Amino acid sequence: NAGVMQNPRHLVRRRGQEARLRCSPMKGHSHVYWYRQLPEEGLKFMVYLQKENIIDESGMPKERFSAEFPKEGPSILRIQQVVRGDSAAYFCASSPPVLGVASPLHFGNGTRLTVT
């Protein structure tokens, strides 16, 4: 009964390096969402994906950030040329196919990115 799996749990990168965060949704879930959380703040929506499609990326910074959810394998959130301001917890959530009725998102335990 695996939930949403994220790895790595902790990631340290120097400024200018690339960060790759992975997320495997719950079994049977085909929708993935990425959120960012700064210390003592709420979660901020970044991007919503289905298999091979980006549905909504309105919360994603225009530069350096990208996300994908390939036909096979986990969803990947990629941050190029990281800066200290990218340090945060990044959470992935998944949901079953949306059939016109909203349903709760199920979250993983996040990846904590630290940029030194």
Task: List the structure tokens of 83.
Answer: 């800066």
Torsion, Cα 63 109 40 59, to 10 degrees, reads: 30
Site size toward another protein (CB under 8 A) is 26
Of 53-82, binders to another protein (CB under 8 A) are: 55-56
Among 20, 41, 51, 73, binds another protein (CB under 8 A): 41
Near another protein by CB under 8 A, which window of 14-22, 65-73, 76-84, 98-106? 98-106
Measured CA to CA, the distance from residue 58 to residue 28 in angstroms comes to: 25
Assess 104 for contact with another protein (CB under 8 A).
yes
